[in-house]
Amino acid sequence: MAIVQCRECAQGVSSFAPFCPRCGVPNPGGHGRHTERVEVVDVDMKIGTMMVFMVKWAIAAIPAVMLIAVLWAIGAGVLASLVAGG
Ligand SMILES: [Zn+2]
């Protein structure tokens, strides 16, 4: 962790600080554009991975969803009989 000068106001801030405590500029360490580009690439990769993951998860979840639906229907039936008998 190093102390660097804010790229906007020259206040001494941590190189890892997300915002300058004096002027509020994001990433006062001065790597803003590079960091943004890396984040965009990272998000693109995550979306592609997430799509594959969601498809696999959806296929795997079908039996679980059916089981939950059956249990929910049974629970609703029990609740209805309790209310009707009540
Ligand atoms: Zn500043």
- The tens digit of pLDDT for each residue in 33-82 reads 455 555 555 666 677 888 898 899 889 889 999 999 999 999 999 999 98
What radius of gyration do the chain's Cα atoms show? 26
Interval between CA 38 and ligand 1 midpoint (Å):
23
d(CA 41, CA 62): 32
Question: What's the whole-model pTM score?
Answer: 0.34
Cα 39 to averaged position of ligand 1 atoms, centre (Å): 22
